[in-house]
Amino acid sequence: PYAVKYYSDEIKEKIKLNNPIDAVKSEMEILKNKADIFVLLTHQGADLDVAFAEKVKGIDVIVGSHSQSAMDEPKEVNGTLIVQAGKEGYYVGTVEMVLKGKE
């Protein structure tokens, strides 16, 4: 929602924005029996990623950007691992996960 504040009113009138938390919850409900993990890619900043993880249960990983934070280790919030992409493509990272109970 923050990106469109720079758009003209003419463009804003043509865009419909949904609440991102509600949208993710809705999609996760639809996909819960089809997905083994949920990974969110965001561009809202580290603080909003933390708030997102606090409000939406079941997200396994949030890979975020915008705040340009580089993290050596993931931050865990409400069972969600949060990592940040750093800035300007200077960093490459990996998140390794093991799925238990699956053949």
Q: What is the pLDDT of residue 22?
A: 96
**pLDDT category, 6, cuts 50, 70, 90?**
confident
Token pair for residue 36?
Answer: 């083994």
Residue 25 burial class via C-beta count within 10 angstroms: exposed 0-12, middle 13-18, buried 19 and up: middle
pLDDT at position 2 over 80: no
Q: What is the pLDDT of residues 38-91, one digit of tens each?
A: 999 998 889 999 999 999 999 999 999 888 888 889 999 999 999 998 888 888
pLDDT at position 92 over 90: no
What sections of 1-103 are H helices per DSSP?
9-12, 20-31, 46-55
Residues 6+ apart with CB under 8 A from 30: none
Residues 34-41, mean pLDDT to the nearest whole number? 95
Q: What is the pLDDT of residue 102?
A: 61
Q: What is the pLDDT of residue 33?
A: 95
**Residue 12: CA atoms inside 13 Å, Cβ hemisphere, count?**
9
